[in-house]
Amino acid sequence: MFLLLSTAAVSQKPPAKEKPAAAVDAVRGSSAFAEILLRSTDLESELESLLIDYTDEFPKVKELRFTLSILIRDRDRILLAKQTEIGRLSQALGKLIVRRAELETDLWKLLQSYKDEHPDVKRAKRRVEIYDRAIKDILG
């Protein structure tokens, strides 16, 4: 009977491993994470200040929320970095990510008024692509 239980236990998939706390702490201590956190904090502060006098429909409020959502998305991606990738999380990477978020916001604003074929939209898309490529070059 003991052998039967052992075989059944071995055949089950092990539970999914969570990222070790040390790896998460290392990512949170990286320059890239700090750069993203700094910009996110600035934007949150500005947003809270605007919300005292304006509603969620105010254009600047919408813009800040959009940029914050991009930075939060990128911050969450960085938190998934493997232990071997932590050395790549430099201040330069953080600055690239922050700048790309600003460019994505510019593109979003243009798309509120223009179609994809508009020259300004095409230029904005190209700038975002250039920053995406630079970020991918660093992260591998």
Distance between CA 2 and CA 97 in Å, rounded?
Answer: 55
pLDDT attached to residue 140? 79
pLDDT attached to residue 20? 67
Positive or negative, the CA dihedral 90, 92, 44, 126 is: negative
Distance between CA 47 and CA 56 in Å, rounded?
Answer: 10
Residues (pLDDT < 50) of the chain are 1-16
pLDDT attached to residue 5? 42
Whole-number Cα distances in Å, 115 to 20, 60, 103, 111, 119: 45, 21, 17, 6, 9
pLDDT attached to residue 18? 58
**Residue 2 is encoded by which pair of tokens?**
């003991």
pLDDT attached to residue 96? 98
pLDDT attached to residue 24? 86
pLDDT attached to residue 59? 97
